[in-house]
Amino acid sequence: MNDDLKHKIKKSLNVNNELFIKGQIYKDVLSKRDLWEKLAGLYNGKFIIKQTVSKDVTSFKLEIPYKNYNLVLTESDTKPLKFATELKLNRKFEFRISLEDSFDRIMKLFGKQDIQIEDKEFDKKYFIQSKDPGLILKLLTSGQIKQIILKHNIYLLNLEYSRKNETHQLLTYKDRNTNDQETLMELIQFEFSIIDFFENKKIIRN
């Protein structure tokens, strides 16, 4: 993409500075550079900026150490904010908590699992799947985890087990509009709280 075309694209952005490009939402992530650099300083993290050869797409990566773990935040011009942490658990516990959509509601009619946690607001908004309903209930009612999910409208919280390397990947996805320090710090603390939960329940391998 040449500079003239890039200028035209940016000029045509709507009030949210978003544009649909090749099936994805384009949002200039460089506007958040100062914020991410500040977070890197606050958490003793490593901040990396990458661009495509043509410099038409920019991506951010922020690695934050926490205890024996590494929390990785990523976002780009075309991909949403994501938090990822690799964990070594002593059981093959997995779950998926996602904003409920029309497809999920249809699938429930055909018997697709949806765990209820006896919270009307949460149960109405989120679709929960796990083979260990008791443990997921304990997680969601631990500290402010459930409240943070609702407050920040997190659209996916997922824990997957990889048989290839026998580790778990904790993934959290948020929308493209997270651009203030208070929210990002609260979301980072949210990730720390989940790690702490697994440690306190003695589910993490040494």
Three-state DSSP class for residue 79: coil
- What local confidence, expressed as pLDDT, does residue 39 receive? 98
- What local confidence, expressed as pLDDT, does residue 14 receive? 41
Whether 171 is in a domain gets the answer: yes
Residues of the chain with pLDDT under 50: 1-2, 5-22, 103, 106, 109-111
Three-state DSSP class for residue 105: helix
Q: Cβ distance 49 to 28 under 8 Å?
A: no
Between CA 17 and CA 26 the distance in angstroms is 8
- What local confidence, expressed as pLDDT, does residue 105 receive? 52
- What local confidence, expressed as pLDDT, does residue 115 receive? 83
Whether 14 is in a domain gets the answer: no
Whether 206 is in a domain gets the answer: yes
Whether 196 is in a domain gets the answer: yes
- What local confidence, expressed as pLDDT, does residue 176 receive? 87
Whether 139 is in a domain gets the answer: yes
Classify residue 180 as exposed, middle or buried by CB count within 10 Å of its CB (0-12, 13-18, 19+): exposed
Write the DSSP symbol of residue 188.
H
Q: What domain range includes position 113?
A: 80-206
- What local confidence, expressed as pLDDT, does residue 26 receive? 81
Q: What is the tally of structural domains in the chain? A: 1
Whether 184 is in a domain gets the answer: yes
Whether 125 is in a domain gets the answer: yes
Whether 96 is in a domain gets the answer: yes
Per-residue pLDDT of 44-71, as tens digits, reads 999 999 999 988 899 999 999 999 999 9
- What local confidence, expressed as pLDDT, does residue 113 receive? 53
Contacts of 158 (CB under 8 A, 6+ apart): 95, 96, 97, 98, 170, 171, 172, 173
Sheet strand arrangement including 46-51: 46-51, 58-66, 69-76, 82-87, 167-173, 156-162, 95-99, 126-130
Q: Where are the strands (E) in 3-136, listed by range? A: 19-21, 24-26, 46-51, 58-66, 69-76, 82-87, 95-99, 126-130
